[in-house]
């Protein structure tokens, strides 16, 4: 991490300065514990304050990155939810359109089937009525023709019988007349004789 890098570099620089001073040939006098602590206090406080500032900067950057990441994730989640809702609405609308289309097709098909069945029933009924009427007319014609023939036959038979009776009556009358004339003639001849 950056703080450890900074602290290691500072410690290495302090070590190099101390070694260079020793190499130069100026040995440092031994210090008492109070002086050593007094002389070490400003450097350590500066170093700690520098590390705190670095830590504050990196923590702010991390917080900003985390917040931006959270905002981006929330925006992505919201966009995904909106897209899912739009897809669900589109699927629902498509399902409703398919259902309405299917119901319309079924209704139109049923109506066409009912109309065709009604037309077939009407045509069949009209055909049956026509055939029945024709059969009835033919039967009536046959009955009338038969009755006419019977009447004609009865008339012919009656006329023939009347003619025969008239002829018989004429023959009888003629015969009776001839017999009467003959008998009268015979009687007159006998009387004359």
pLDDT in tens, 147-162: 999 999 999 999 999 9
**What does the pLDDT average to over 54-75?**
82
Place of tokens 């500072």: 10
| Residue 99 domain flag | yes
25 secondary structure, DSSP code: T
pTM over 0.75: no
Domain range spanning residue 131?
A: 55-165
Check pLDDT > 90 for residue 35.
no
| Residue 18 domain flag | no
CB 7 within 8 A of CB 47: yes
Confidence of residue 126 (pLDDT cuts 50, 70, 90): very high
CB 55 within 8 A of CB 3: yes
| Residue 64 domain flag | yes
Domain count of the fold of the chain: 1
| Residue 59 domain flag | yes
| Residue 142 domain flag | yes
| Residue 42 domain flag | no
| Residue 3 domain flag | no
- The length of the chain, given as a count of residues: 193
| Residue 121 domain flag | yes
């Amino acid at each position: 991490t950056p703080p450890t890098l900074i602290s290691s570099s500072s410690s290495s620089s302090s070590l190099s300065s101390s070694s260079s001073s020793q190499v130069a040939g100026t040995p440092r006098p031994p210090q008492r514990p109070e002086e050593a602590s007094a002389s070490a206090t400003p450097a350590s406080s500066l170093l700690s304050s520098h590390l705190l500032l670095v830590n504050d900067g990196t923590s702010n950057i991390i917080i900003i990155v985390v917040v931006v990441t959270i905002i981006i994730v929330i925006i992505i989640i919201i966009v995904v939810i909106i897209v899912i809702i739009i897809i669900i609405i589109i699927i629902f609308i498509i399902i409703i359109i398919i259902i309405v289309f299917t119901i319309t097709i079924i209704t139109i098909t049923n109506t066409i089937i009912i109309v065709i069945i009604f037309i077939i029933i009407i045509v069949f009924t009209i055909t049956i009525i026509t055939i029945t009427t024709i059969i009835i007319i033919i039967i009536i014609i046959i009955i009338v023709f038969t009755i006419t023939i019977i009447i004609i036959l009865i008339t012919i038979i009656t006329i023939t019988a009347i003619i025969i009776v008239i002829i018989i009556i004429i023959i009888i009358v003629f015969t009776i007349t001839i017999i009467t004339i003959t008998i009268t003639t015979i009687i007159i001849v006998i009387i004359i004789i």
